[in-house]
Amino acid sequence: MSSELESLKQCITEFEAKNVKLEAENAELRKENTEIFYLRNKLSVSDAEIAELKHRNTEFLRVNKKYNERRDAKVNKLEQKNKELETRLAIVEQASLPVKEQSYNDNPSNDSTSNFNSVAEYHEKPLVDVETDNSFPEEKEMDNFFLEAHKKIISSEIKQLELRTGQPNSGNLT
């Protein structure tokens, strides 16, 4: 019996040692399990943040696309208006070219009033057909500016002609 008792005590001691080992392993596994739980929570929060960022990015791209479309439309409109204004400017410049190109010294004549009258008759014609009803206010303003600039050019050319010929303006221009 005593050997049996000794054998049981030895088994109990071995089981207790195994139990301590298993409890240590169990504690380690619980610790790892807690870490895994923490990491899963952190991952789910990160996934939610990523989803939110993707949503915000998609929304930003949508708004940016609309902005770019509006900007492109505005740029196209401004380019079109710029072309129209360049065309108008070219017409006004072209209309004023013949007067600038006339050389009053090339045709010396005693009848300088004929030159003056031809310049005056030329400028009585309208330079540009302006449709005031269909124009924008900015376009009307631009047309008025070009018209005033043209009138100043003509006035200065008439004064130069008068100085060259020595005859004052005897006719009225309207």
pLDDT (tens digit per residue) in 126-152: 555 544 445 577 788 888 888 998 999
Is there a single domain that holds both residue 114 and residue 80? no
Say which residue, 145 or 17, is predicted with more confidence.
17
Alpha helices (runs of H) in 102-111, residue ranges in sequence order = none
Using DSSP, state whether 155 is helix, strand or coil: helix
Q: Given 88, 115, 143, which residue is the final one in a domain? A: 88
CA gap 133, 141 in Å, rounded: 13
DSSP at 133: T
CA gap 89, 110 in Å, rounded: 36
Question: Residues 101, 161: contact at Cβ < 8 Å?
Answer: no
Give the range among 30-44, 128-142, 157-171 with minimum mean pLDDT: 128-142
Is the confidence at residue 112, as pLDDT, over 70? no
Is there a single domain that holds both residue 71 and residue 117? no
Is the confidence at residue 77, as pLDDT, over 70? yes
Number of structural domains found in the chain: 2
Domain that holds residue 47: 1-88
Is the confidence at residue 174, as pLDDT, over 50? no
